[in-house]
């Protein structure tokens, strides 16, 4: 029986800033005293520029062979603004306009592959600002790939070639692959409708052509700064970074995408079933990843199932243990799951691959059609008799668990491969019997997969008007109820899988908890429940709008929060003082190797600002999710994820008026003329001073 | 607005002064010393007036608009009076210096007369005041944008440069006139200089060409660390020299979207107070 060790969490070896601000930055503190042009905030500067504060940039990401994303020049890109609201407006930019290059303000509905490739091909575009479309584009929008994480899953030419590269099923048919294109101009997202309106107003006032002729100077222009230091690919970037850090020339240019995954184990390890899913998401823009359907719905259901199981009376007596795992970085070629499999193979993880009895994964479960939940299995591994038998048992247990709940479980069948899921990485290593539960049979139901429109509205989370934040936190939406039913089914199935023999009708997921989690992870992180379950020293992580991008400085807010929610839902409150809780090794019966102790803030006392903190004992651990490619230093690996994110110095956007070249030249000419004139005049007056200022008087007079 | 405008405005503002310096001052080291000392005296006068104004602003309620406006007007007037007072002090110092120079010389004559000193001192005052007036603007001319997005005139930089040129000349003339008045005990000349100086300062500060649509100009006031309110809502605003001295490290951390905290000079738009 393996003892639970504390998982080592080495600090990230390559830089990364701390998480002191809600949006982590990798820029620098700069004092500004008199350097020309770089001081912001004095009134002359305010007369000239209007800064755009609520924007999100598109940054550069690199993998083993390519770079994707956007780049601006080192001193920003400037262009005359042109508002493109329909396709015809593009002609002005591409051909007719007399003042290239242009900075386009694109309506969100036109942000598609066709338009973007047109803009990519021309030199008349110096940048792009996309106004987020409200409401979301009805035809769907997904900048991800049609076949997510292709090449890093289990299907390849050696294993199920008929399923590789989405030959059989295209999972994300709306995927345009826009996130994976490389643009050489900056692209920003304008999140605030007021700022978009200011830009449009400026355009209307100055840039609209009148009477058929072109617009006249001064013209309204925009400047975007998003210079990225890294180029080409991860291989090049790491090589350059290591050279620079060896010789201490410059700060590093690249950061590895890494995170912490959270495995939770109920007790000792004896062939546990593993229950897993991903908690991160991505969209075209940096740190904009609401991920409502793609990530949040599934991990919230997962957490609810963990809570439901924890409340079952005989969970400690189960024959097998259940490990709930949350993987980070799955969007980028399965960073988290590939690392866990690697650790299991190298015996760095307390669990070994051959100890895993079965695997249940949940992916995208919020948009069920007619209450159907589909069970996907891997047809290739089921060709093996023993695996087939166990998968059959798994499927039957799941189907039986759905009796009585408003969830119909159906099998996707032998003709379907597994959808993109973390289970595929485990299958690569060993043929474990497993099932992936989703709300879609073939293509995703999610029409906004990996985009900025995958918001609560996408999963039909609706609240009545006029509720206060506290009431909204407690209000149970229909989405929450439906996810709670899925959680109930999964919890019961896990109970059976772990060998439980009793009646499972008592195992119920609580829709209130689900609703609170959905509110916290999708709408407002800074709510009273989250505040009460976290440690006092990290309460700064509760920013306003939650985003679930994997990022480089770890752990991100989402990881922390999931860790603490899990600890709260599955842990026990123990009666320890603060010192004992923070130093459990000093207490004799604490079993420090088995449990984690956290001193959390607690809720507010009524009518007071003081909180009642307490100690929570749980079995939640963080495990580093850095791709094995970086451990092995194989920057060009095709086996493991090699995604890295570029570093940058500053990212900002502003609008202003530009003057005509004629005015500038006139100013210069006038200046030179005045200079020359005054030099000549002074010279002559000085030379002829005694003539000009002669005073016919005594020699005591002074002359100039 | 790029390099062309930067150089154009620099030449307009400082061209004549450069001519004066090169042909009449540069060759004589004594004149150079007097020039630099004059500039220094002006700087000290500004420092003191800024200090007084800063204390007054800190001690007062930042949300009281008329009070802040009144304080600004008071600040401008006080600064002008202090500058003239320092001019007088400098005169006294130079008088003493002449005695010293006479004692040191071989033929009992000072190598430089008080009128020449007056001229050089005036140029010194003018140059330093022009520098404070213009440098921040010149810094902004290097960026890609020009003034106008809030409705101000595009010719802002050009007019500022001409004003600075005029200012330098004015200080030179005032220096000569003032010293002449002190020398010959003609108080009306001194008074005329002071009155002219107040008038020019006041008229430039009070000009309100177009109502600025920028309400942020008012929001400068509540930030406690920022001592530079605008003169009035539409106006071109306040005494930025005072701010120049007193808020090199002050300012609010604007632009913190990406977590980067700018520490910047907070100054209102500028035309005042350099005078």
According to the 3-state scheme, what is the secondary structure of B144-207?
Answer: CCECCCCCCCCCHHHHHHHHHHHHHHHHHHHHHHHHHHHHCCCHHHHHHHHHHHHHHHHHHHHC
pLDDT of residue A201: 93
pLDDT of residue A35: 39
3-state secondary structure of A57: strand
pLDDT of residue A618: 85
**DSSP conformation letters of A102-129:** EEEEEEGGG-SHHHHHHHHT-SSEEEEE
CATH 3.40.630 intervals, chain A: 258-522+535-569+619-626
3-state secondary structure of A133: coil
Query: pTM for the complete prediction?
Result: 0.81
pLDDT tens digits, residue range A650-702? 999 999 999 999 999 999 999 999 999 999 999 999 898 888 877 766 555 55
**For range A3-30, the mean pLDDT:** 27
Separation between Cα atoms, residue A393 and residue A399, nearest integer Å? 10
Q: Does B26 touch chain A (CB under 8 A)?
A: no
Burial group, residue A280, by CB count within 10 angstroms (0-12, 13-18, 19+): buried
Q: What is the DSSP letter of A549?
A: B
Distance from CA of A141 to the nearest CA of B (A): 27
Going by their DSSP bridges, the two strands A77-84 and A102-107 should be labelled as parallel
Q: Does A395 touch chain B (CB under 8 A)?
A: no
Q: What is the DSSP letter of A363?
A: -
Going by their DSSP bridges, the two strands A323-327 and A258-265 should be labelled as antiparallel
Q: A436 pairs with which residues across the strands?
A: A361, A376
Distance from CA of A643 to the nearest CA of B (A): 22
Return residues 161-190 of B near A (CB < 8 Å). 161, 165
pLDDT of residue B268: 36
- Lowest-pLDDT choice from A25-39, A256-270, A499-513, B146-160: A25-39
pLDDT tens digits, residue range A296-327? 888 899 889 988 888 887 777 788 888 888 88
Percent of chain A at pLDDT > 70 equals 86
Q: Does A695 touch chain B (CB under 8 A)?
A: no
Separation between Cα atoms, residue B257 and residue A54, nearest integer Å? 7
Tell me: pLDDT of A252 over 90. no
Between A and B, how many residue pairs show a Cβ–Cβ distance under 8 A? 222
Q: Do A678 and B24 make contact, defined as CB atoms within 8 angstroms? A: no
pLDDT tier for residue B262 given thresholds of 50, 70 and 90:
very low
Distance from CA of B98 to the nearest CA of A (A): 15
- List the domain range (segments joined by +) for residue B175: 1-205
Q: Does B144 touch chain A (CB under 8 A)?
A: yes
Residue of chain B whose alpha carbon sits nearest to that of A677: B16
Q: Does B123 touch chain A (CB under 8 A)?
A: no
Assigned CATH for A258-522+535-569+619-626: 3.40.630
Separation between Cα atoms, residue A53 and residue A192, nearest integer Å? 9
pLDDT tier for residue A257 given thresholds of 50, 70 and 90:
low
Q: What is the CA radius of gyration of chain B?
A: 20
Q: How far, in whole angstroms, is CA A74 from its chain's centroid?
A: 25
Going by their DSSP bridges, the two strands A258-265 and A77-84 should be labelled as unpaired
Distance from CA of A38 to the nearest CA of B (A): 8
Question: For an interface test with A, which of B11, B26, B248 has the most A Cβ atoms less than 10 Å from its Cβ?
Answer: B11
Nearest-by-Cβ selection for A48 from B119, B149, B267: B149
B62, B67, B68, B74: CA torsion to nearest 10? -140
Q: Does A27 touch chain B (CB under 8 A)?
A: yes
Nearest-by-Cβ selection for B260 from A25, A34, A674: A25
Residue of chain A whose alpha carbon sits nearest to that of B18: A679
> Based on the structure, what is the number of domains in chain B?
1
Q: Are A702 and B115 in contact (CB under 8 A)?
A: yes
Tell me: pLDDT of A234 over 80. yes
The more confidently predicted of residues A554 and A313 is A313
Which residues, including other chains, have CB under 8 Å from residue A210's CB and lie 6 or more apart? none
Q: Do B265 and A682 make contact, defined as CB atoms within 8 angstroms? A: no
The more confidently predicted of residues A34 and A452 is A452
**For range A335-357, the mean pLDDT:** 87
Residue of chain B whose alpha carbon sits nearest to that of A205: B149
Q: Do B264 and A41 make contact, defined as CB atoms within 8 angstroms? A: yes
Distance from CA of B76 to the nearest CA of A (A): 18
**For range B102-107, the mean pLDDT:** 87
Return residues 182-241 of A near B (CB < 8 Å). 202, 218, 220-221, 223
Tell me: pLDDT of A23 over 50. no
Q: Does A544 touch chain B (CB under 8 A)?
A: no
Q: Are B160 and B31 in contact (CB under 8 A)?
A: no
Tell me: pLDDT of B236 over 70. no
Q: Do B261 and A202 make contact, defined as CB atoms within 8 angstroms? A: no
Return residues 646-675 of A near B (CB < 8 Å). 650-652, 654-659, 663-672, 674-675
Q: Do B258 and A651 make contact, defined as CB atoms within 8 angstroms? A: yes
**DSSP conformation letters of A177-232:** -GGG-B-SS-EEEE--HHHHHHHHHHHHHHTS--TTSPPPSSEEEEEEEEEE---S
Contacts of B165 in chain A (CB under 8 A): 674
pLDDT of residue A506: 84
Q: Is the ipTM of this complex over 0.90?
A: no
pLDDT tier for residue A649 given thresholds of 50, 70 and 90:
confident
Query: E strands within chain B?
Result: 262-263
Q: What is the CA radius of gyration of chain A?
A: 30
Tell me: pLDDT of A404 over 90. no
Contacts of B10 in chain A (CB under 8 A): 671
């Amino acid at each position: 029986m393996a003892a639970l060790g504390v998982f080592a969490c080495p600090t990230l070896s390559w830089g990364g800033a701390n998480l002191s601000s809600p949006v982590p930055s990798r820029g620098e503190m700069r004092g500004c005293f008199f350097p020309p042009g770089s001081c912001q905030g004095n009134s002359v500067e305010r007369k000239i520029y209007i800064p755009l504060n609520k924007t999100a940039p598109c940054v550069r990401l690199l993998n083993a062979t390519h770079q994707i994303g956007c780049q601006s020049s080192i001193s920003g890109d400037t262009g005359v603004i042109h508002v493109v609201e329909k396709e015809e407006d593009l002609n002005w930019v591409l051909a007719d306009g007399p003042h290239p290059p242009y900075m386009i303000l694109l309506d969100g509905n036109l942000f598609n592959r066709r338009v973007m490739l047109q803009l990519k091909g021309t030199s008349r575009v110096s940048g792009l600002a996309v106004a987020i479309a409200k409401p979301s584009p009805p035809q769907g929008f997904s900048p991800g790939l049609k076949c997510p994480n292709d090449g890093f899953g289990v299907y390849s030419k050696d294993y199920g070639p008929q399923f590789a590269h989405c030959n059989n099923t295209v999972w994300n048919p709306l995927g345009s692959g826009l996130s994976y294109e490389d643009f050489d101009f900056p692209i920003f997202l304008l999140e605030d409708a007021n700022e978009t309106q200011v830009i449009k107003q400026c355009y209307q006032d100055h840039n609209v052509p009148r009477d058929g002729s072109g617009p006249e100077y001064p013209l309204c222009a925009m400047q975007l700064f998003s210079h990225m230091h890294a180029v080409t690919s991860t291989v090049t970037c790491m090589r350059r970074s290591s050279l620079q850090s060896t010789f201490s020339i410059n700060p590093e240019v690249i950061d590895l995408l890494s995170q912490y995954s959270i495995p939770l184990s109920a007790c000792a390890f004896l062939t546990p079933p593993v229950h897993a899913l991903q908690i991160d998401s991505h969209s075209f823009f940096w740190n904009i990843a609401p991920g409502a359907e793609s990530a949040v719905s599934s991990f919230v259901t997962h957490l609810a199932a963990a809570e439901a199981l924890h409340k079952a009376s005989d969970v400690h007596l189960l024959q097998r243990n259940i490990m709930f795992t949350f993987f980070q970085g799955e969007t980028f070629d399965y960073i988290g799951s590939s690392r866990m499999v690697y650790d299991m193979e190298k015996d760095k993880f307390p669990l070994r691959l051959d100890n895993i009895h079965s695997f249940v994964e949940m992916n995208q479960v919020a948009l069920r059609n007619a209450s159907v939940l589909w069970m996907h299995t891997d047809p290739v591994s089921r060709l093996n008799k023993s695996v087939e038998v166990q998968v059959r048992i798994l499927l039957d247990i799941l189907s039986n668990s759905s009796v009585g709940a408003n969830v119909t479980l159906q099998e996707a069948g032998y003709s379907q491969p597994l959808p993109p899921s973390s289970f595929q990485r485990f299958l690569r290593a060993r043929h474990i019997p497993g099932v992936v539960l989703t709300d879609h049979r073939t293509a995703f139901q999610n029409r906004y997969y990996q985009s900025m429109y995958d918001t609560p509205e996408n999963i039909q989370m609706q609240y009545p008007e006029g509720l206060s934040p506290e009431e909204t936190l407690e209000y149970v939406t229909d989405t929450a109820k439906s996810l709670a039913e899925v959680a109930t089914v999964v919890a019961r199935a896990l109970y059976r899988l772990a060998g439980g023999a009793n009646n499972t009708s008592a195992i119920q997921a609580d829709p209130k908890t689900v609703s609170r989690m959905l509110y916290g992870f999708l709408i407002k992180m800074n709510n009273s429940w989250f505040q009460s379950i976290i440690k006092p020293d990290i309460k700064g992580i509760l920013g306003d709008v939650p985003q679930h991008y994997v990022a480089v400085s770890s752990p991100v807010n989402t990881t922390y929060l999931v860790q603490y929610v899990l600890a709260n839902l599955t842990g026990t409150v123990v009666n320890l003082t603060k010192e004992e809780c923070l130093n459990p090794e000093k207490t004799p019966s604490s079993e420090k190797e088995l449990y984690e102790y956290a001193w959390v803030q607690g809720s507010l006392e009524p009518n007071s600002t003081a909180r009642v903190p307490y100690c929570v004992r749980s079995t939640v651990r963080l495990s580093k999710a850095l791709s094995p490619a970086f451990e092995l230093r194989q920057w060009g690996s095709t086996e493991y994820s090699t995604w890295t994110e570029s570093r940058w110095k500053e990212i900002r956007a502003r609008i202003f008026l530009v003057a005509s070249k004629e005015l500038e030249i006139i100013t210069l000419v006038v200046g030179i003329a005045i200079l020359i004139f005054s030099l000549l005049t002074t010279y002559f007056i000085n030379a002829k001073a005694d003539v000009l200022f002669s005073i016919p008087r005594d020699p005591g007079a002074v002359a100039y | 607005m790029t390099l062309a405008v930067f150089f154009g405005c620099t030449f307009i503002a400082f061209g004549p002064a450069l001519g004066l310096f090169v042909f009449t001052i540069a060759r004589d080291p004594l004149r150079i010393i007097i020039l630099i000392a004059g500039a220094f005296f002006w700087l000290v006068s500004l420092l003191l007036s800024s200090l007084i104004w800063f204390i007054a602003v800190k001690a007062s309620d930042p949300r009281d608009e008329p009070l802040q406006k009144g304080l600004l007007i008071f600040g401008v007037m006080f600064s002008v009076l202090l500058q003239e007072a320092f001019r007088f002090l400098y005169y006294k110092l130079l008088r003493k210096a002449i005695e010293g120079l006479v004692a040191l010389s071989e033929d009992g004559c000072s190598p430089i007369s008080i009128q020449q000193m007056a001229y050089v001192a005036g140029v010194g005052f003018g140059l330093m005041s022009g520098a404070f007036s213009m440098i921040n603007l010149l810094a902004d001319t290097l960026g890609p944008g020009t003034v106008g997005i809030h409705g101000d005139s595009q010719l802002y930089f050009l007019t500022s440069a001409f004003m600075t040129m005029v200012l330098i000349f004015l200080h030179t003339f005032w220096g000569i006139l003032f010293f002449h008045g002190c020398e010959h005990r003609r108080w009306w000349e001194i008074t005329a200089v002071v009155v002219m100086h107040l008038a020019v300062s006041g008229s430039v500060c009070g000009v309100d060409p177009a109502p600025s649509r920028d309400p942020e100009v008012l929001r400068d006031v509540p930030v406690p660390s920022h001592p530079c309110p605008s003169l009035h809502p539409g106006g071109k605003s306040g005494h930025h020299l005072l701010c120049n001295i007193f808020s090199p490290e002050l300012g609010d951390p604007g632009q913190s979207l990406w977590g980067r905290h700018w520490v910047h000079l907070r100054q209102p738009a500028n035309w005042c107070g350099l005078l």
